[in-house]
Amino acid sequence: MSSLKGKLLLNEPMARYTSWRVGGAADQCYTPSDLEDLQQFLQGLDATTPVYFVGLGSNLLVRDGGIRGAVVMMHNVLTELRMEGDLVYAEAGVTCAKLAKFCAKEAKQGAEFFAGIPGTVGGALAMNAGCYGSETWNVVKRVSMINKLGEVTIRDATEFIASYRHIEKPVTDEWFVAVWLALADGDAHDSTLRIKELLAKRLASQPLNLPSAGSTFRNPQGDFAARLIEASGLKGFVIGGAQVSEKHANFIVNIGGATALDIELLIRHMQDTVLEKQGVSLHQEVKVLGER
């Protein structure tokens, strides 16, 4: 792998790359310089090495035992963003906030909600991220994928099964490298105002001053996870350095020195309590990687 142009770090603490600021070390942590470099890195890996792609780490809990395998860091990598005919082309490393602003500037309507997603395009595609009534896959036309052999394939949106905060891929070991979005024509000024409204709403309702990973649980059909958690008397509940946010009950915040285990135990406690008191099973939105 001597000809690689990216940055390879061994036994790299993942706490540096997750928004909760927790997580053990990854065996390999690679930041590619471009798509060709990413292809070369994947081709050089042993076929048995597990591979994980990470964007801003904003919907991710890495356990304290770290990750066996290779983590590909996509933030600030593959950041091309342009109009391609009538479609918006965005690579996986573009932040959702930047995508929202670009679409507004181009007078393309329907991407404003991306401003409220604290992650990258790749992450939004992988979990069908959404907020304020909109979801990523509602506007996807087609995507570019890469597999463990470094082969790139263009796939139509119809090849995927999208559901609430979940996407079923036709091939498991493929990762998103780019997307083409089909958006309606709109008004740049109106879209910019909508983005400002959404950001103000987010600032008013979410604990953005402390490390968190956004919504911990999916909203159950016809209800809100935050309401159920609050009704169960869990606001402010603490395990170690992890706390159920007093500002938004569906957020777990790191109030200082939290471990991944603290957070995982708090998640379980919240699920058990809500099931016992409200009769509802909460399903995790946060992805968990690594070993205890």
CA 233 remoteness from chain centre: 28
The yes-or-no answer on residue 212 being catalytic is no
Give the residue among 22, 71, 9, 50 at the shortest CA–CA distance from 292.
22
The yes-or-no answer on residue 106 being catalytic is no
Rounded to an integer, what distance in angstroms lies between the CA atom of residue 225 and that of residue 244? 12
Q: Are 89 and 154 in contact (CB under 8 A)?
A: no
Beta strands in 67-139 (DSSP E): 67-73, 81-84, 87-91, 108-109, 130-131, 134-135
The yes-or-no answer on residue 285 being catalytic is yes
| Run of H or E including 238 | strand 238-239
127 Cβ partners below 8 Å, 6+ apart?
Answer: 59, 165, 166, 167, 285, 287
Strand-pair category, 51-54 with 67-73: parallel
Q: Out of 12, 91, 112, 285, which one is annotated catalytic?
A: 285
Q: Are 116 and 58 in contact (CB under 8 A)?
A: no
3 state DSSP class of 1: coil
Q: Out of 19, 191, 215, 232, which one is annotated catalytic?
A: 215
Q: Out of 144, 165, 191, 212, which one is annotated catalytic?
A: 165
Beta strands in 46-104 (DSSP E): 51-54, 60-62, 67-73, 81-84, 87-91
Catalytic residue ranges:
165, 215, 285
